[in-house]
Structure 1
Amino acid sequence: MRRAAMTKSAHTEAEDNVSAELTVAAPAATVFAVLADPTTHAAIDGTGWVQESVDRAPLTEAGQLFRMDMYHPNHPNGNYQVVNKVQVLELPRAIGWLTGSRDDSGELEFGGWIWRYDLVPLGPDETEVALTYDWSAVPQSIREYIQFPPFGPEHLTNSLRHLAEVVAGR
């Protein structure tokens, strides 16, 4: 197993988004393949909220939906499920998704926040990965009961470090 090399790590905060960057010792295609595999997302998550992927098929196109089982102690049910919708899929440069859920009638609703990974090859075996959590489209009605971001900025850096570890294990 290769050791995950992390030569650069930083995070920035803006009014309605937070991002972090990390250089990963792997080709962009390898990093992208890990991100496009929903079964890796629990291992990548820096909060421990993502429990398991319900849908195991790789992410291959914009508009694709994939579900995740989640846990958060402040959620009314503790355990819950999110439905993500792929918004960006540009192999091997960018992948991102909106997070939502089904309401009581089964209708799909999205809260307005998106997770996005941008990959920049730095050579044949090194990729700069930027992770951005953007909540600029979250309506005021949701902002009244959810604080944004719902985690500290270190979450993104932790997620990128976990991503590098998963990639190194491939």
Structure 2
Amino acid sequence: MDRENVSATLTVAVPATRVFAVLADPTTHSVIDGTGWVQQAADRSPLTEVGQIFRMDMYHPNHPHGEYQVANQVQVLDPPRAIGWLTGQEKDDGHLEFGGWIWRYDLVPLGPSETEVTLTYDWSAVPQFIREYLQFPPFGPEHLTNSLHHLAEIATATSRARTPDG
């Protein structure tokens, strides 16, 4: 495979500001995740700045320990147009080490109540030594589409909950 990223796009009937607010809330990520690997947010504060670290509790049956934690560093934060993070792990000495793969959501408002959302998983910066033991992407293409549908469901539900007549 020559490409080192994969993406999916979905139009949702929710304003971009609402979609962005859902993505900036780490507590929603376990529900958005299309693989079932993300369990819950260890850091529950909203994402508000580039460089911010937020941790997620994870589970994967092929991981040596099954349960593990990732540390994500916000790389892109442009409300309500883009948000993205680099994923890594905290070592025993507290040092953060990132693997080189990035999750990024780009939002394009299509009017006051509709947004085109593109989710991209980019592994172009993954060093060779990691590529020797991890396959990229580590999931099927349906993962991104599933994640976008979950995002749409959450954003729609929270948008309705915020309207006086919804």
TM category (shorter chain) comes to: over 0.9
Q: CA-to-partner distance for each residue in 1:63-121, whole Å, 9 max, x for gaps? A: 00000000000000000000000000001000000000012322100000000000000
> Structure 2: how far apart are the matches of 1:101 and 1:26?
33
1:35 maps to 23
1:69 maps to 57
Residue type matched to 2:62 in 1?
A: N
Percent of aligned pairs sharing the same letter:
77
RMSD: 1.0
> Structure 1: how far apart are the matches of 2:34 and 2:49?
25
Q: 1:90 aligns with which of 78, 102, 106?
A: 78
Q: How does 1:1-170 map to 2 (within 5 A)?
A: 15-170=3-158
> Structure 2: how far apart are the matches of 1:67 and 1:154?
24
Name the TM-score, length of structure 1 as normaliser: 0.91
- Structure 1, unmatched stretches of 5+, are 1-12
Name the TM-score, length of structure 2 as normaliser: 0.93
Q: CA-to-partner distance for each residue in 1:8-59, whole Å, 9 max, x for gaps? A: xxxxx96100000000100000000000000000000000000000111100
Residue type matched to 2:143 in 1?
A: H
**How much does 1:124 deviate?**
0.5
Higher strand share: 1
| Structure 1 segments of 4+ aligned residues over 4 angstroms from their partners | none
Q: Do the aligned partners of residues 24 and 14 (structure 1) sit closer, same or farther apart at CA in structure 2, a change above 3 Å counting?
A: farther
Higher helix share: 2
**How much does 1:168 deviate?**
1.2
Per mean C-alpha deviation after superposition, the further-off stretch among 100-109 and 77-86 is: 100-109
2:163 maps to none
2:162 maps to none
> Structure 1: how far apart are the matches of 2:44 and 2:93?
25
- Matched positions, count: 158
